Each structure stands twice: as structure tokens, then as C-alpha cells.
Amino acid sequence: MCPPFATPAPATWLPLLKSALEEDIGPGDLTGELLIPAPARGRARIEARQTLRVCGLEIAAAVFEHLDPELRVSVLHRDGETVPPGSDLLRVEGALRPILAGERLALNFLGRLCGVATFTHHFTDAIKGTGVTLADTRKTIPGWRHLDKYATAVGGAVNQRIGLYDAILIKENHIEACGGVKAAFEAARSRADAEISIQVEVRHEGEAREALDAGADFLLLDNWSTADLARVVPQLRHRARLEASGGIHLGNVRAYAETGVDRISIGALTHSAPAADVALEIAKESP
């Protein structure tokens, strides 16, 4: 049984949907208007053509509902369910013109969101039993931040840093600009609100110890090998939360999890997830 997932607030994605409708349809669907009589009615279904983690059905439904509020749209699964190929995900009934006009956009949203959720689920499944948390990053499609992060959550990851405004991550370039790990951390800690999390990216053991000595309690171990992590993590984990990132993929994610880090973050969850294979099929009503 999957936990219930609440689709993000419409304010976070409705402008994107409206912009996408304008981009795709503009002043009208030439093909549909020329080929499909205005009174024509029919039924359609969107089906999964692969095993996938369901995500984004309410948003796909909203595409059709915006094109024609009189369309009858039925969502057949909950986000977070895993379904086999051939499963019907959504059905829509009513005027054929808006159904066909919304086909590609609904599939684009659904393919992207199911793709990210499915890809993420492969990673969470690979580290099952290790006690390690999988986290996403800010490597999302511009304008898609809330939807991409929703999809990783549906896939089993945790969301971190919605933007630059809700947490502090001191990265390599910040450290270079400030003149070192200690100077960067102390500047952030002295000026930030006490409740704001501060994480420090460290490239090797020396930087890690410098950050800890300065008072850091949350480190991002970036582009470390599993051998280096296995050697250093037991020495550091009692002093800070440890997150591994960089160069981690499905083939090695479990090895990284078994080093003893608390968390693994992977940008590929959103920047490299393949789209899920979903399709819409029309079943026109008999005269």
C-alpha cells in the first residue's frame, strides 16, 4: 500500500499548464478543426506501456478540463502506485476535438512525472534495507521545480532545498570566494537565522575536518570514492550528518549506501530521468 500523495498546490503548476496550452495550441488545433466535426463525441484512455510508478494524473486530467470543462475525466489510480504495462491510467469522454487537442500535452506531463517517479523508485529500491535516505537536488527543468520534486517524492526520495531561499549549502565556489571552508562557514553561521540549516560541501578529508572544527554538523561529501567514504565515514559520523553525492548511479548506489552515510543525493533523478511510455487511444462511439 503506497502512502497518499497530495498533488502540489495548483498555484505552483497551473501557470505552467496554461503556458503549455498556449504554446501547443495557440489560436487553434488546425488538424482537429479540419478533420473532426464539432459535434463528434468519443472516449479515450491513457494507458501505461511499461511498468511505471504513477505520478501526475490530476495534472493530466487538468489539461482536458481546461480545454473543455464538460469533458468527463476519470482518474483510475493514485499517485505512488506501481502498475504493469497495459494498465489504464485515465479515461476521458466527451467532445473529440478537445480530447485530441489535449492528447500530446497530457502525455507530456504524465510521461515526465511518471518517468521521474519511476526512475527515482529504482534508486530507492536499490538501497532498500540500508537505512540511507535518498534526496533530490535543484537540477530540475526551469519552471518545473515543484512538479519535479513532487515526482521524486512519489518515487520515494526526500525533497531538499526547494530554492536558494530555504536552506544554506556552502559549495566549492562559495568556499573559494570566501577564502576557505572555515571562513565561509563562520560567515554563514554568524549571519543566518539559528533555525536555518547550513550544509558544507567538502572535497576531501582535510576540508571535512576543517568544516567540523568550525562547527559544521552537516557535510556534503562530493565526488568521493566509496573507498574513501568507507575509510572516513566511521570517523566522522558521530560529529555530523553525512551526505554523499556525485558520480552515483544505479550500478553503484548501493555500494555508496553501504559506506554508512546518512543520505545520498542524486541530480540525475530529475536531469536524466527517461520519460515513461504512456499513450492515449481513442475509441469513438458508434453512431
Annotated catalytic residue, options 78, 91, 104, 203: 104
Nearest CA among 42, 19, 26, 61 for reference residue 285: 42
Annotated active-site residue 139? The verdict is yes
Of the candidates 29, 47, 81, 222, the residue annotated as catalytic is 222
Give me 60's grid cell. Answer: 493530466
For 72, phi then psi, to 5°, come to -95, 110
> What DSSP letter does each residue of the chain carry, written as one string?
-PPP-PPPPGGGTHHHHHHHHHHHHTT--HHHHHHS-TT-EEEEEEEESS-EE---HHHHHHHHHHH-TTSEEEE-S-TT-EE-TT-EEEEEEEEHHHHHHHHHHHHHHHHHHHHHHHHHHHHHHHTTTS-PEEE--S---TT-HHHHHHHHHHTTPBP--SSTTS-EEE-HHHHHHHTSHHHHHHHHHHHS-TTS-EEEEESSHHHHHHHHHHT--EEEEET--HHHHHHHHHHHTTTSEEEEESS--TTTHHHHHTTT-SEEE-THHHHSPPPP-EEEEEEEPP-
Name the residue with cell 491513457.
46
Angle subtended by helix axes 57-67 and 14-25, to nearest 10? 50
Which of the residues 45, 91, 138, 139 is marked catalytic?
A: 139
201 has catalytic annotation: yes
Q: Is 81 a catalytic residue?
A: no
CA separation for the pair 39, 37 (Å, rounded):
6
Active site residue 149: no
Is 222 tagged catalytic?
Answer: yes
* The residue type at 286: S
Q: Which one of the listed residues 201, 207, 243, 263 is annotated catalytic?
A: 201
Catalytic site residue from 171, 189, 237, 241: 171
Residues acting as catalytic residues = 104, 139, 171, 201, 222
